[in-house]
């Protein structure tokens, strides 16, 4: 049976529901989607897609670090946008963090929790 480790860090926002920030199973990190909540304030950071994408990516990085991984070990992301017209601007920020070009899905959705403009979910391998 696989060992399952729950990841929790104060450097990323606490879960806003009955889930964990991430799980590590068999050398893979399965992270919950990260919206642009500033973990220090508990509030959405920024009002533009660029500002919010920046915070979402920072939150992903904190969880990856706590799980023993990093952006270079991300193999797949799923990105959710509140407005598909933000696709290009979102990509500008995303590309600064995900330089290894992992596989990705990016879709527009009707709503994201707390009225966020984006959410980023990662699947990575442990370093």
Query: Where are the chain's structural domains?
Result: 4-125
pTM for the complete prediction?
0.96
Which pLDDT belongs to residue 17?
Answer: 87
Residues of the chain with pLDDT under 70: none
| Residue 106 a catalytic site member | yes
Short-list 99, 105, 106, CA closest to 70:
99
Handedness of CA 42, 46, 47, 49 (dihedral sign): negative
Q: Which of 60, 79, 106, 118 is an active site residue? A: 106
Task: Domain 4-125: give its CATH superfamily.
Answer: RutC-like (3.30.1330.40)
What confidence tens digit (pLDDT) does each residue in 20-31 have?
Answer: 999 999 999 999
């Amino acid at each position: 049976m696989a060992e399952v480790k729950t990841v929790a860090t104060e450097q990323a926002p606490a879960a806003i529901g009955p889930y964990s920030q991430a799980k590590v199973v068999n050398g893979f990190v399965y992270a919950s989607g990260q919206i642009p909540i500033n973990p220090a304030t508990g509030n959405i950071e920024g009002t533009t897609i660029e500002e919010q994408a920046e915070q979402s990516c920072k939150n992903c990085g904190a969880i990856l670090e706590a799980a023993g991984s990093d952006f270079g070990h991300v193999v797949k992301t799923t990105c959710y946008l509140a407005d598909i017209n933000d696709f290009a601007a979102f990509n500008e920020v995303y590309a600064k963090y995900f330089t290894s070009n992992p596989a990705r899905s990016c879709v527009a959705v009707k709503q994201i929790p707390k009225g966020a403009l984006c959410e980023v979910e990662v699947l990575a391998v442990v370093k």
